[in-house]
Amino acid sequence: LYTAPDSCEGRCGEPYREEDECHCHEGCPSSHSCCEDFHRHCLADGFSSSQDAITDQDLLDISEKLYKVDHNKARPTDITINPQYQADPEETGDQEDRSPQPLYKYVNEELFSKPTYSSFIKLLDNYQRVTGREEEVTTEELREQDTFLKEVMKTELMKKLFAFLYTKNRYSSQQEFVDDLKEMWFGLYSRGAGEQDSSGFEHVFSGEVKKGKVSGFHNWIRFYLLEKRGIVNYFSHNFNGPWDSYPDVLGLQFSWDGFYKEVGSAFIGCSPEFELGIYTLCFIARPGRACHLSLGGYSLSIQTYPWTKSTYGSGKKFIGTAYIISS
């Protein structure tokens, strides 16, 4: 149900892009650059037929639609940030705190009472952050996952995303989509020592510590809540998106309980369903490759990677990571 970077499954008719490992457009046979399964997928009907391909233009169109229906995002009066020092690329690894004040001057916490926010926040304390430690998932935590997915699927944003994927023959029902979201994001796999110690959701939204460094941790709500408690210390930013409203985008340097994150890109002020939706879209359409989107007329790229060492269902991949390309 997702597009592998070395396969033509779901990519038939995609335009040529130099960064692709192999190609699936009409001219690839003459340039000997087709993926190995080009003939099997692109000369047959079904999921891989050209009308089911998610084109670059499709991604620009659907991302603009999702951006416009993020009804739960922060308003301009809901958040005040203080980005302070902008680091040069060669400074991001210095681990030097060049911003004496917190990043967040003000957040209207009434946002967090919205159902998608409150159910999202309940998920954040469900994880052991250090890789190599087995995750013990309780019945209550499984219920919290289901509640979050139920709440996001009530939103116009996630309904639009499902409708788009349905027209592209990726899912035959909303329940199939929800079931796949649960496996894709919450299914456990091993990042270290063979333990079931990680998931896409933990990595991207809650954050992990691996080999003494912060891994993942790309969510503004998580950052704000930990900064408020004095557990996260903002150092600087190396990238500030062009937006003058929310969601904005920053590339951050920070420490989490003394563990350092050299570049942690994040949407600022978006709803949980917006992030979940945008990352899911890119993971299904362009896993392992840059996924080029349009938000309010501005260009933005997302990078996702599938976890390649284990699968679920009939060979489907978990989300390894998803983040905004901020350099």
Closest CA to 270 of 122, 102, 111: 111
Amino acid at 212: G
Q: Do 71 and 10 lie in a common domain?
A: no
Residues 6+ apart with CB under 8 A from 48: 8, 9, 10, 11, 12, 41, 42
Tell me, yes or no, whether 223 lies in a domain. Answer: yes
Pair (11, 61) in one structural domain: no
CA distance 322 to 273: 14
Do 62 and 83 lie in one domain? The reply is yes
Does 294 lie in the same domain as 164? yes
- Domain assignment of residue 4, yes or no: yes
17-39 mean pLDDT: 84
pLDDT at 2: 60
Report the pLDDT value the prediction gives residue 133, as an integer from 0 to 100.
86
Position 48 in a domain:
no
Q: Are residues 39 and 90 in the same domain?
A: no
Report the predicted TM-score, pTM, of the whole model to 2 decimal places: 0.87
Same domain, 60 and 96: yes
pLDDT averaged over every residue in the chain: 92
CATH number of the domain at 11, please.
4.10.410.20
Bond preceding residue 83 cis, omega within 30 of 0: no
Is residue 24 located within the same domain as residue 98? no
**Percent of the chain with pLDDT strictly greater than 90:** 69
Which two tokens mark 75?
Answer: 């308003």
Residue 51 lies in a domain: no
**Predicted confidence (pLDDT) per residue in 190-217, tens digit:** 987 788 889 999 999 999 999 999 999 9
Highest mean pLDDT among 49-63, 102-116, 194-208 belongs to: 102-116
Does pLDDT of 1 surpass 60? no
Residues 6+ apart with CB under 8 A from 178: 149, 153
Say yes or no to pLDDT of 46 above 50.
no
Looking at the fold, whether 217 and 299 belong to one and the same domain comes out as yes
| Cβ atoms 100, 82 nearer than 8 A | no
Report the pLDDT averaged over residues 99-116: 98
* The pLDDT value given to residue 122: 97
Strand partners, 295: 298
Domain interval for residue 25: 1-43
pLDDT at position 47 over 60: no
Is 305 within the bounds of a domain? Answer: yes
Q: Can you tell me which residue has the tokens 């989509």?
A: 177
pLDDT digits (tens, 9 = 90+) for 142-164: 999 999 999 999 999 999 999 99
Average pLDDT over residues 28-45: 78
Tokens matching residue 198: 């990680």
Distance CA 232, CA 155 (A): 31
Domain tally, the chain = 2
Q: What is the pLDDT of residues 232-269, one digit of tens each?
A: 999 999 999 999 899 999 999 999 999 999 999 999 99
Does 3 score more than 80 pLDDT? no
Residues acting as catalytic residues: 203, 218, 261
Q: For 114-130, what is the mean pLDDT?
A: 94
Phi and psi, residue 200, nearest 5°: -60, -45
Please check the confidence at residue 132 and state whether its pLDDT lies above 90: no
Look at residue 230 and tell me if it is in a domain. Answer: yes
Q: Are residues 128 and 233 in the same domain?
A: yes
* Range 136-139, long-range pairs (CB < 8 A, 24+ positions): 137/188
* Same-domain pairing of 19 and 83: no
What is the percent of the chain where pLDDT is above 70? 96
Contact 202, 224 (CB under 8 A): no
The Cβ of residue 269 has, within 10 Å, a number of other Cβ atoms equal to 24
Q: Are residues 168 and 114 in the same domain?
A: yes
Query: Is 183 a member of any domain?
Result: yes
Assess whether 2 and 74 both reside in one domain.
no
260 is a domain residue: yes
- Taking only the tens place, the pLDDT of each residue in 262-304 is 999 999 999 999 999 999 999 999 988 899 999 999 999 999 9
Quick check: helix, strand or coil at residue 182? helix
**What is the mean pLDDT of the segment spanning 102-123?**
98
Q: Where are the alpha helices (DSSP H) in the chain?
A: 28-31, 38-42, 56-68, 115-123, 139-153, 156-167, 174-186, 200-201, 220-228, 272-285
